[in-house]
Structures are given as structure tokens and as C-alpha cells.
Structure 1
Amino acid sequence: MSPILQDKIPYDVSSKSLPGTAPLEMRDWIIQDDAFAGQMALRDELIMTRRDDVIAMQNGSEESALELLETVLTWLGSHGTNYQIEAAHVTRPDGVLVPVERNQPMVTLGRLVQEDMCLMLKQGEEHVLTAAALCFPANWYLSEKVGRPLTLIHDPVPDYDESIAQRVQRLFDGVQPERPLWRFNALHYEDPVLFQPERRHGEYKGLHAEVFPFFRSERQCILRLPKTRACVFSIHTFVIAKGAQTGMEASP
């Protein structure tokens, strides 16, 4: 199977700091890029054949998951390019008809947009991952992270120490409806496959990175849902071949 690649990454990936967040306009939240058809076909396949690996929804997260679905449908109705929104279904820009299953909101979300969607609910002092449509994991299994607080979700990531974990938690505490934030990461990969839950040798930044032929970056957005106050962590995954162009401005 041919790799699913973008031609470029639309922001500057030459330098970053953790968590490295910046304000984001709601109109720029969801991206439709040149890998749309390939990524969406893969998402459909994964949800059909590996649903338990890519979809999760804990008891108690139903209301916030449904609010997220309605938020995405409203956004697509206002900003989505070539989406046709009906009450019972959505026709994607690639012509695929997606039933709007409100009793399965994360499944529907997983088939609507390129972004992976993770729902974080505040429980005690921390936000906990309670629901997700995660088709393109990078070095982690959804089943191992659902139900865990934010600081434990990131514990295998290099450079993610306690002070950074606290800063990220403050970001989730402070983000307000209609005022989302965004950041990105940047990793070098040997294998361009998008569904890559197992960590593979050398695929973190800094370990002989120049020998790996692919570059992977996640554009991560944080927003708060106004009704349930849940936080959404959305992830748009870019994979390009080394030598492809990248944007020169750090903007979404």
C-alpha cells in the first residue's frame, strides 16, 4: 500500500518549545488538506476493522461526546469545504456518505474529519481522557490511556517532565469557549504508516534523526465545549517525505 503523505506542512517546524501554544481562531480549527481522501479512507477502514483500537467512550462521557459531535457538524456547516450536511447524514468532500449516529458520536466523528478527537473531562485536579476517536496514534495505544489523567497520558514522551505537565494542565484549566489554542510536535520516522501505536526504535527526535526518510508532525488544538465544559484535544497528523516543503510561518 502506498504511503499517505501530504506535500507540505503548513507551519514552521524548525523549532519548538513545550508546550509552545498560541491562540487559534475557531474558523481555523479543522483542516482539509491534500491527503484528505487517503486519510479518510484509512479512517473508515480502521473504524470498520479495528474499532476497539481506535474508538473509546467511557460511561459518563455521552453528553460531552454528543456536544462535540454537534459542534463539529455546526463548524462544518459554516466552514467545511464541500461538505453537505443533512439531519441524518453528511456527505464528505470525497463523496462518501456518513450516517450521523448520535448514539455513537465518536464513531461518527472519526469518519467526518481528518482530525483525531480526544475528550478530556475534569475529574478532581486533573483532566482525564474519557472518550476518543484516535485513528492515527503515534507510539501509544488508546486502550492504555483512556481513563487516565493528562499527566499520565504523556509519561513516555521525552522532555515531558513534571513542570511541563503542570503547565499543560493549567492550559486545559484556562482555555475558554471560542478561544482555542494550538501547538505542534515534530518527529522523524522510518515508517510513514499513520496507525502506529507501537513505539519503534529511533523514532523520537534527536536519535540519528537524519537517517529517517519521513517527518511527522501533529497539529494539536485545545478547545472547551461551552455546555459540558469538557476540553477537546484534536490532532491533525501530517506526514511528509524528507525534502518536501514546510511552511515558513508558525501559524495554523
Structure 2
Amino acid sequence: MIHDDSVPRHIPHLATPEVMSMGLRPLDPGDWIETDTSLSHFHQHTLAMRQLHGHAVYAALPGSLEAQQELLSLLCGHLLEDHADAYRRDGSGISSAAGGFHVALTEADPEPLWQASLLVADDLVIMQPSANGYLLAAASLASPSHWRLQDKLGQPIRAVHDPIPGIHRQLTPRIERFFVHISPERPVSRFNWALQSDPGLFHPAAPEATASSDTILYYRVERQTLRRLPCSGAIAFTIRVFLHPLAALSTVPGAIDALVSAVDATPPALARYKGFPSLRDALEQYRLKSAAEIHWPRRSPT
């Protein structure tokens, strides 16, 4: 099914208001990747970001090739079988009528993960087992949310999450246990949400405190999936970023009020990391506008 990406499809703070939560949900393998009307935009975005930023967008350790190839093969099978309305085999590659592009596929390509990332709107990451735990072994990262691939490549889970206040106390041991025990038959999904004051997808740096009460805000959601690759034993981690003007949430009853409450309940250190303090005045204006539209609707001209 090709979804309409012009309206918010996932509003995770309504179900999980905590900014930092495992929030794992069982995932039907047929729903591994979602396709929508932004597929062409993300394909072009991924190409453009690598051209601009190089190794900050795509990088891989030499020992990750087997897992990359396995992920590409698994992804192609999923797209052709479960999203036949959007993808078809075309010669030696795959074409997407939904996205208006063709991706050539060759067994000898040295960057299978890059090929895979051109097929979907998701960023793709491979976490590989090692003597030091699971390491970030390869990634195609065109839409990072406050982390830099060049800082994380080859690092274990704990180091990957280091900048996030409180995560080692609250979640890191659980995440490490989860990576050990996840099975190929039981993939999962989870969501992150955030706010930002510009419509950019490429956000490797933490937000700067430069917002005012009339700043336009954007609601940023990450739909993440994790699944074990059965042959290599690596874990495929997908990250699909959705970015909508915050005003789009005003049509969902209670969404703005719930967002204000979630921001206010975020612990101070984590709130600063997320850039919430600088956005709070602007967010309040959205809350007031939403309340006015609900309680005092504007009359139609007579």
C-alpha cells in the first residue's frame, strides 16, 4: 500500500509521551518497510546528501560486506513481494513506479548497503556482533537526528548512545540484552519524536537555541525497525524520518495539548539535548491557536 505522506501518519507522542523509551512493538515482516508518496523525494535526497557530505552519509567497515549483501537481498525480496504496487524487477535491477527511479543491482557492487538505501525512504544501519558487543558496522545515513556517522562507525552500542542524557542509566543495559536475544522471526518497530525549527532532514548536529514565539515548528518522527539477519547474525536497523509542519497536528484532537504536556514533562537535561527550551514559546502559540480553533471556531462569511 502506498500511503499519502502529505498528512501525519504516525503521532507517537500520543501513545508514548516519554522522549526516551524502548517502546518496542512486534512487527509483521510484511510491514517491514512502508512506501508512500515521498519515495521520489527521499531517493533524490539520499543521492544529494552523499554527493554533498560523502563519508558523513555512507560508510562501512571492511568486515560488513556479508551483512550488507544479506540485507540487500532480504530487502529486494520484501519490496517485490510485499510492495508489488510500488516496485518491479527490471532487468538486473529494480524500478519503482511510485518513486519514478531505477536502481541497478550487481553482485559485484562493493556497496550493497548503498544500493539498498536508494530503493527506500529509510536510512539503513547494520549493527554487527563482535567481542565488544554489537558495533555499528555500516550505514547509509541521509537524515541523521543529532548524530554523526563518522563519530559512530565501529563503535559499540554504549558509545553510539553516549551523548543522550540518562540513557545509560535507563535504557542501555536493556538495549544490549535486546540485541543479544532478538530472533530473525520476531522483528520489532519503535518510534522517536522531536521538534525542530526548520524543514531540514539532514540534522547531524544538536539544535541551536535560535527560536522565537513566532517560529514555525516541525514535528519530526522516526519510525525505526530492527530485525536479525539470519545468515550473518547482524541486526538491520532502519530509520524512516517523517517531517511535518506542526500545524498539521491541529486536526488531530488533543495532539497539540499532549505534545505540550510531553515537552513539559521531559527531564531538564534531556530537554536541553532535544532543544525544547528554545522552542517552548513557539510551541505555546500552537497550543493557544489550537484551543481557539476548537472553542471559538471562526464563522463562515455570510
The change in CA–CA distance for 1:150 and 1:202 in structure 2 (over 3 A counts) is farther
Residues 183-229 of structure 1: CA distance to partner in whole angstroms, max 9, x if unpaired? 111111012200111112259xxx99996611101011110001011
Give the distance between the partners of 1:46 and 1:122, measured in 2 at CA.
28
Tell me by how many angstroms 1:168 deviates.
0.8
Aligned twin of 2:61: 58
Aligned twin of 2:222: 218
Residues 77-121 of structure 1: CA distance to partner in whole angstroms, max 9, x if unpaired? 111232112452111222211111442202201211011110001
Give the distance between the partners of 1:60 and 1:19, measured in 2 at CA.
29
CA RMSD of aligned residues (A): 2.4
Instruction: Give the 3-state SS of the residue equivalent to 1:18 in structure 2.
Output: coil
Aligned twin of 1:38: 41
TM-score by length of 1: 0.87
Which one of 237, 252, 268 corresponds to residue 233 of structure 1?
Answer: 237
CA contact (8 A) 1:6 1:239 kept: no
Aligned twin of 2:286: none
Residue correspondence of structure 1 range 61-210 to structure 2 within 5 A: 61-80=64-83, 81-86=85-90, 88-92=92-96, 93-102=98-107, 103=109, 104-202=111-209
Q: Which amino acid aligns with 1:100?
A: L
Tell me by how many angstroms 1:23 deviates.
0.8
Q: Which amino acid aligns with 2:38?
A: A
Give the distance between the partners of 2:132 and 2:246, measured in 1 at CA.
41
Tell me the number of residue pairs that the alignment of Structure 1 and Structure 2 aligns: 241
Q: Which amino acid aligns with 2:9?
A: I
- The gaps in structure 2 that reach 5 residues or longer are 254-302
Structure 1 outlier segments of 4+, above 4 Å: 207-212
Tell me by how many angstroms 1:37 deviates.
2.1
Residues 12-70 of structure 1: CA distance to partner in whole angstroms, max 9, x if unpaired? 42224511111111111101123222222111222344332211110111001000000
Between 1:73-82 and 1:14-23, the stretch displaced more is: 14-23
Q: Does 1:243 align with 2:247?
A: yes
Q: Which amino acid aligns with 1:195?
A: F
Give the distance between the partners of 1:72 and 1:145, measured in 2 at CA.
24
More helix by share: 2
Give the distance between the partners of 1:84 and 1:112, measured in 2 at CA.
11
Give the distance between the partners of 1:209 and 1:32, measured in 2 at CA.
35
Question: Which is greater in Rg?
Answer: 2
**1 or 2 for the larger relative contact order (CA 8 Å, sep ≥6)?**
1
Instruction: Give the 3-state SS of the residue equivalent to 1:61 in structure 2.
Output: helix
Give the distance between the partners of 2:79 and 2:192, measured in 1 at CA.
26
Between 1:64-73 and 1:167-176, the stretch displaced more is: 167-176
The change in CA–CA distance for 1:225 and 1:189 in structure 2 (over 3 A counts) is same
Between 1:207-216 and 1:178-187, the stretch displaced more is: 207-216
Aligned twin of 2:292: none
Aligned twin of 2:280: none
Instruction: Give the 3-state SS of the residue equivalent to 1:8 in structure 2.
Output: coil
CA contact (8 A) 2:35 2:86 kept: no
TM-score by length of 2: 0.73
The change in CA–CA distance for 1:171 and 1:136 in structure 2 (over 3 A counts) is same
Give the distance between the partners of 2:208 and 2:106, measured in 1 at CA.
39
Give the distance between the partners of 1:87 and 1:178, measured in 2 at CA.
31
Give the distance between the partners of 1:181 and 1:62, measured in 2 at CA.
24
The change in CA–CA distance for 1:227 and 1:214 in structure 2 (over 3 A counts) is same
Q: Which amino acid aligns with 1:98?
A: V
